[in-house]
Structure 1
Amino acid sequence: MKDGFIRAAAVTPKVKVADPEYNAQQIIELINQGASRGVKLMVFPELCLTAYTCSDLFFQTSLLAKAREQLSRIIKASRDKDILAFIGMPWERDGKLYNAAAAIHRGKLLGIIPKKNLPNYSEFYEARHFCPGNERPVFVSWEGGQVPMGMNLLFRCSNLRNLTIAAEICEDVWVPCPPSIRHSLAGATVIVNCSASDETTGKDMYRHELICSQSARLVCGYVYANAGEGESTQDLVFGGQNIIAENGTCLVESRRFTNESICADLDMERLDSERRRMSTFPAPEEARREGGYMIVDFELSLDSAVNTNAQTAQADGLKESARDVLRFIDPAPFVPGDERQRSRRCEEILSIQAMGLKKRLEHTGSQHAVVGLSGGLDSTLALLVTVRAFDALKLPRTNIHCITMPCFGTTDRTYNNACAMAAKVGAELREINIRQAVSQHFTDIGQDMDNHDVAYENSQARERTQVLMDIANQVGGLVIGTGDMSELALGWATYNGDHMSMYGVNASVPKTLVRHLVRYYADTCREKELADVLLDVLDTPVSPELLPPEDGKISQKTEDLVGPYELHDFYLYYILRYGYAPSKIYRMAVQAFRGQYDNGVILKWMKVFYRRFFSQQFKRSCLPDGPKVGSVAVSPRGDLRMPSDACSRLWLEELEKLG
């Protein structure tokens, strides 16, 4: 439970129909296994204490009595287990029978949740045996005491403020207005579902989409446990498809037709952050009051869940580490891992960028664009976007003015790529050597040519920007900004130099994604010569080329100076998207980049990121317009309203404590 993670499990025991004693033993063993794996929340299938397929045997008093007896046995066995478990079973109240889930924790029965929506169509006959459950809780007798029974029960972890759990049962999630909607509006952050959903052709795909979509709509964790092998196959087969989803993402899913226990760490801070950010997600007090909700408090130990042995770690696909989070942490959160999704994302982003520029050109009546083309990644992407916008407007590509401005750090490789690229897309290319102009400026301000300080570098960047702006005035066009979001986050731009433009098409594209956009264009442009140039640009080290080359090669490599962009993009994503604390981001980065960067390197560049992110906000406070393309952006008019003089001490002190 460290850093807001809670380990959840969806398990499918192999049951015997109408044999609660056998089934209880399987449940107890699975709870013990879960405890050894650090599980805090465990969900079992619908009616698993008796088996779902008992049919008219549910009318037998002996079966119902034995189920209650075995529930008591399970509860006693859970006394020293720090697990909140939901177990499906039949429950009798006032002469009526209910399909219910029992919530137990550390030797106590916390509540009974009945099923509301009873399917009575096709292969289902639940209304023959059960009554629809009550929404508002009532108290029922249990071993000399009273426990609440009702759908509107919220199980709130008193020492983890953002963990509140509610339950629904199987069909409840398939109806037009599932109870989980009300539960989430009342404050539930995790929904559990005890289910017995049989297998028919194609049903698994629908079930997967249903659970993931529900978790997205409700901004919650969803733990779905399904019945499997052991249920009667007289007419049906149950495949045991278990799913753990979080805000639309499937964290883990079991194989069908094999009873499995699946585990994943739900990120409660992420869910809390999402709901806090969404002004349309209402506060829960009114929903609780109107629904007559009852809150049942419980407490979990705050120790970090660990893998206890190599076999468990291997089964989870993890290297054995006490700090591992049991979920995949993508080292490239801005870049889809699936190739088809990545291609779709690239096409979509290029279209957003081009449409943004198209509108700006239309609005201003401009038929010309000016791009400072260096032969590097960012200016390459800006040119490709501009070409798309011009094609959409049916403007001649010769109205795109590519300006290459060699100076002290320009290498033949980047210069030749810039020239070739402009020619291949059909744009106009102008070469303006700025060496003389910058040298004169150095003379004017008394700058020693051999002093390669920040003034030496920035003078070149500002001279280039002046040239671009003046040419734009000459042709009546717009200067297209090339800088990307990663550079803006780090402040790796010359104020009023490359920091400035008339429309910044790359302003919300992170560096790790810039590479994929250029590669996608190379793969789909169907022009081999252009593709070859783009691929060579991709192979060129990232550099502002402001310092003289060494032996004709780039001497100033950006990532040697500010750190790897893949690390900075990782930090940027979790800082801005979810507001995570530095210690949590560090822990996640260590796991995501294991084997690639050691812990000291990760921490070093995290400190650099935070220092630069805070100190360079003044550059972001006056950014040019540009289109937002993803869930993270740094525009002062949209996603990042941050004081330019905010103090970074709180975050840096937390990093210092890490080592």
Structure 2
Amino acid sequence: KRYFAAGSDALVFAHEGVNIGVLICADGWEAAPAMLAKAAGAELLIAINASPFHMEKQSTRLDILRERVAETQLPIIYANMVGGQDELVFDGGSFVLNSDGTLTHQLAAFEPALAMVEFKHAQPIPAEITPHLSLEASVYNALKLGLHDYVRKNHFPGVLLGLSGGVDSALTLAIAVDALGAENVHAVMMPSEFTADISVDDAREMANMLGVKYSEIAIKPMYETYITALAPQFGNLPFDATEENLQARIRGMLLMALSNKFGSIVVTTGNKSEMAVGYCTLYGDMAGGFALLKDVPKTLVYKLCRYRNSLSKTILQRIITRPPSAELRPNQLDQDSLPPYEILDGIIEAYVEDDKSRVDIIEMGFQPTDVSRVVKLIDRNEYKRRQSPVGVRISHKGFGKDRRYPITVKLDFGK
């Protein structure tokens, strides 16, 4: 519902002898509305906002509002909403700038906050300033708030997730417990013949340490039943991604069955790096209702794990240090199929978030073969991303509403 209509005149009202100009959201991002308010007699500006979070957004807000202060020589109260709405998280973090651009008040981010702002001669009297959050802290809190509000506002009783013993599911579990409480989280380990013992041990220990409900369902009997049923069709064709994806789809089916029976929403654990290049299985590990790490690249996943452990030991160190693997075939590692994540994530950021071309990315120092391969994978896998669940956006351009790319394109992906 819209509460405001566009107008051509400045909105200025008097309160206790002070003329106050009102800016609504995007009014503050350009000079004209604030200047019109000053011309209409405003001595103080209030900017009310529904400004969604992305990394470093708060610094951008401060820089832009300081420009308005410099142009008008007026103090500004910036009030921002807080809460999750589908993929968007509104992070709050309201603040006040005096007429020389000095920050006099800074409220907490990612939680409702209230402050009394006192003025003397239309200038704010300095008060306590909440410390600035690190990038990792702000992203972690955005993910936590986004998950909490999506689950609670849509009236789900809790969440289900597949726990693999890997770093992505470990981080997802930690955020879910922080957001919803251990009593509302059910972790399910679904080992196969390719699952290492250490993965099962780590999954159990993580679940026990965090106090969540934990279940184990071996998928080998179901997998063998499918293979037997398909054998007449497959004939002597060799083991390939078909059998790998079959395991992921069995796991997805089990989680969705538990979701149907008990009402909890399935939270998927795939990250942005995997989503970008299609290193994920439709109707398998992509099956669920909320993709928490959908906009979090793998390199940032590791940083978030270390950040969470800096608060209290939550994620096992060997989960963080083990080489990542989907464990869908013997001795499998992610790096068998993908470039190193440091390289992969750099190319994804340049191509997806910054709209750079292949030539631009190569000029940044990446190898031409890596760039061509990754760009090709990103373009080819739009059809998968279009079928993925909604998830928290933390970058300035996430997959989904921010990046609308056609599935059907007459391109030669080999070039």
Query: Which interval holds the TM-score relative to the shorter structure?
Result: 0.5 to 0.7
Provide the rounded CA distance (Å) in 1 between the counterparts of 2:357 and 2:286: 29
2:361–2:371 contact (8 Å) kept in structure 1: no
Deviation at 1:451? 3.4
Q: Deviations over 1:356-389 (max 9, x none)?
A: 1212221332222111000111111111111111
Deviation at 1:622? 1.8
**1:516-535 correspondence runs (5 A):** 516-525=303-312, 527=313, 530-531=314-315, 533=316, 535=317
Provide the rounded CA distance (Å) in 2 between the counterparts of 1:356 and 1:589: 35
- Root mean square deviation, CA, Å: 2.7
2:338 aligned with 1:573: no
Given residue 370 of structure 2, which amino acid in structure 1 is its aligned partner? W
Counterpart position of 2:168: 378
1:448–1:545 Cα change, 3 Å: farther
Given residue 381 of structure 2, which amino acid in structure 1 is its aligned partner? Q
- Partner SS, residue 386 of structure 1: helix
Deviation at 1:420? 0.4
> Which of residues 578, 589, 609 is equivalent to 2:365?
589
- Partner SS, residue 193 of structure 2: coil
2:153 aligned with 1:363: yes
Counterpart position of 1:349: 139
1:374–1:415 contact (8 Å) kept in structure 2: yes
1:385–1:505 contact (8 Å) kept in structure 2: no
Provide the rounded CA distance (Å) in 1 between the counterparts of 2:273 and 2:157: 30
> Which of residues 262, 283, 298 is equivalent to 1:496?
283
Given residue 357 of structure 1, which amino acid in structure 2 is its aligned partner? L
- Partner SS, residue 364 of structure 2: helix
2:375 aligned with 1:610: yes
1:615–1:645 contact (8 Å) kept in structure 2: no
1:407–1:217 Cα change, 3 Å: farther
2:220 aligned with 1:435: yes
Given residue 411 of structure 1, which amino acid in structure 2 is its aligned partner? A
Mind listing any 5+ residue stretches in structure 1 that lack a counterpart?
1-179, 183-208, 219-339, 392-396, 549-554, 591-601, 654-659
1:611–1:648 contact (8 Å) kept in structure 2: no
Given residue 374 of structure 1, which amino acid in structure 2 is its aligned partner? S
Provide the rounded CA distance (Å) in 1 between the counterparts of 2:157 and 2:386: 29
1:543–1:648 Cα change, 3 Å: farther
1:473–1:498 Cα change, 3 Å: same
Provide the rounded CA distance (Å) in 2 between the counterparts of 1:181 and 1:584: 33
Q: Tell me the TM-score normalised to structure 2 length.
A: 0.66
Deviation at 1:465? 0.3
2:256–2:287 contact (8 Å) kept in structure 1: no
Counterpart position of 1:561: 337
Provide the rounded CA distance (Å) in 2 between the counterparts of 1:588 and 1:506: 27
Counterpart position of 1:623: 388
Counterpart position of 2:327: 545
Deviation at 1:639? 1.0
Counterpart position of 2:95: none
**1:139-288 correspondence runs (5 A):** 213=63
2:257 aligned with 1:470: yes
Provide the rounded CA distance (Å) in 1 between the counterparts of 2:200 and 2:414: 40
Given residue 377 of structure 1, which amino acid in structure 2 is its aligned partner? V
> Which of residues 294, 302, 325 is equivalent to 1:507?
294
Given residue 566 of structure 1, which amino acid in structure 2 is its aligned partner? E
Mind listing any 5+ residue stretches in structure 2 that lack a counterpart?
1-29, 33-58, 69-130
1:348–1:436 Cα change, 3 Å: same
Provide the rounded CA distance (Å) in 1 between the counterparts of 2:183 and 2:203: 15
Counterpart position of 1:258: none
2:202 aligned with 1:417: yes
1:348–1:449 Cα change, 3 Å: farther
Q: Tell me the TM-score normalised to structure 1 length.
A: 0.42
Counterpart position of 2:192: 407
2:358–2:372 contact (8 Å) kept in structure 1: no
- Partner SS, residue 134 of structure 2: helix
1:452–1:547 contact (8 Å) kept in structure 2: no
- Partner SS, residue 562 of structure 1: coil
Greater relative CO, 1 or 2 (CA 8 Å, sep 6+): 2
Provide the rounded CA distance (Å) in 1 between the counterparts of 2:193 and 2:235: 14
Given residue 346 of structure 2, which amino acid in structure 1 is its aligned partner? F
Given residue 628 of structure 1, which amino acid in structure 2 is its aligned partner? R
Given residue 545 of structure 1, which amino acid in structure 2 is its aligned partner? E
Provide the rounded CA distance (Å) in 2 between the counterparts of 1:388 and 1:214: 33
Provide the rounded CA distance (Å) in 1 between the counterparts of 2:338 and 2:329: 16
2:280–2:286 contact (8 Å) kept in structure 1: yes
- Partner SS, residue 479 of structure 1: strand
1:614–1:648 contact (8 Å) kept in structure 2: no
Counterpart position of 1:142: none
Deviation at 1:584? 1.5
Provide the rounded CA distance (Å) in 2 between the counterparts of 1:415 and 1:514: 21
1:489–1:572 contact (8 Å) kept in structure 2: yes
Q: Deviations over 1:458-517 (max 9, x none)?
A: 000000000011111222101011111111110111111112211111111111101100
